[in-house]
Amino acid sequence: MRFKRLDLNLLVALDHLLELKSVSGAADRMHMSQSAMSNALSRLREYFGDPLLVQVGRRMELTPRAEAMRDQVRDILVRIEATVESEPQFRPEASDRVFGLLMSDYTMTVLMPHVLSLAHAAGSRVRFNFLAQTDQPYVLLERGEADFLVAPRQLCSPDHPSETLFEDDYVCLVWSQGAFAGRPLSMDDYCRAGHVVMVPPNRAQSMEARSLAQMGIERRVEVTTFSFSALPQLVVGTDRIATVHGLIARQAARILPLEILPMPLHLEPLQQTLQWHAYRDHDPGIQWVRRLLRDAAAAMMH
């Protein structure tokens, strides 16, 4: 199909070329031969009157024209995809649609078991693809590479609809036989103790780390990990402290020798937010998953 002399099939190839900056990478992504992708690039260059991709040293770079088109091309394809996937009615018991959700391991641990349980009880046949959260997760949402983002409100985009799923307070976890067990935790205790801290793979700060830094509080970090759900295990047998979400703490304290203590200072609760692409706002499938997540969050909090 052509629109203003452009073969619209080339838009998909163009999108992959602009994202990957590689003819061979785009060919692999589309299950095409490299010669076929090279031919597609030649036709795109002729149509736009621009080289689009140029060799710079040992890598390919986008021209200014290509860079300017990058977001618009992706936006067009996301619109088309949203229109094609949207059904007049959505029947989860008859659908094998795959929904991609971006989240941290915290969300995976505390919320997703409730989501899967409710989906099973409803006789749903839909499939879920849980994706690791990145430092800018809304970018994958905007590119249509995920259907949902579940993250703190601060990590969501102002350009897409969202709703609060639940809030979770921060607490301290200590070993039940350690130096800080059996009594209130003072601010002095908190500052002089060793800490186990979650550091995201991109070296960004977690939400509690950001809040503490803004308050001028510096912890003595002795252990770092990439996982929120691993924090409780890593304080057992030590006098270290883990500052964790309340839901994680209560879950861990049921099976590990741990004591949950109130924070010796006030941290704003974590506001966990659900976000989806604006183009999919009226998609019945997206609406069904939103209800599912909302119901799962309510069940989890009671």
CA dist 21 and 68 (Å) reads 14
pLDDT of residue 82: 66
- Judgement on whether residues 275 and 141 belong to the same structural domain of the protein: yes
Number of domains in the chain: 3
pLDDT at residue 8, rounded to an integer = 64
- pLDDT tens across the length of the chain (302 residues): 444 566 667 788 888 888 888 888 888 888 888 888 888 888 888 888 888 888 887 888 888 888 888 877 777 777 777 666 666 678 999 999 999 999 999 999 999 999 999 999 999 999 999 998 876 777 778 777 889 999 998 888 888 899 999 999 999 999 999 999 999 999 999 999 999 999 987 666 788 988 999 999 999 999 999 999 999 999 999 999 999 999 999 999 999 999 999 999 999 999 999 999 888 888 899 999 999 999 999 999 98
pLDDT given at position 1: 46
Question: Do 147 and 282 sit in the same domain of this protein?
Answer: yes
Answer for the pair 133, 202: CB distance below 8 angstroms, yes or no. Answer: no
Structure tokens belonging to residue 218 = 């510096």
pTM listed for this prediction:
0.75
On whether both 174 and 253 belong to a single domain, the answer is yes
Residue 99 has a pLDDT of: 95
Q: Does 201 share its domain with 246?
A: yes
Give the whole-angstrom CA distance, residue 22 versus residue 34. 10
Domain boundary among 53, 85, 117: 85
For residues 161 and 179, state if they share a domain: no
User: Domain span at residue 105?
Assistant: 93-165+271-300
Quick one: 77 and 152 in the same domain?
Answer: no
**In the 3-class helix/strand/coil scheme, how is the chain assigned residue by residue?**
CEECCEECHHHHHHHHHHHHCCHHHHHHHCCCCHHHHHHHHHHHHHHHCCCCEEEECCEEEECHHHHHHHHHHHHHHHHHHHHHHCCCCCCHHHCCCEEEEEECHHHHHHCHHHHHHHHHHCCCCCEEEEEECCCCHHHHHHCCCCCEEEEEHHHCCCCCCEEEEEEECEEEEEECCCCCCCCCCCHHHHHHCEEEEECCCCCCCCHHHHHHHHCCCCCEEEEEECCCCCCHHHHCCCCCEEEEEHHHHHHHHCCCCEEEEECCCCCCCEEEEEEECHHHCCCHHHHHHHHHHHHHHHHHCC
Q: In CATH, what number is assigned to the domain containing residue 284?
A: 3.40.190.10
Q: Pick from 155, 156, 185, 151: which is nearest to 168 by CA?
A: 151
Do 146 and 176 lie in a common domain? no
* Pair (146, 59) in one structural domain: no
Rounded to an integer, what distance in angstroms lies between the CA atom of residue 108 and that of residue 212? Answer: 25
Residue type, 283: D
Question: Closest by alpha carbon to 42, among 34, 272, 166?
Answer: 34
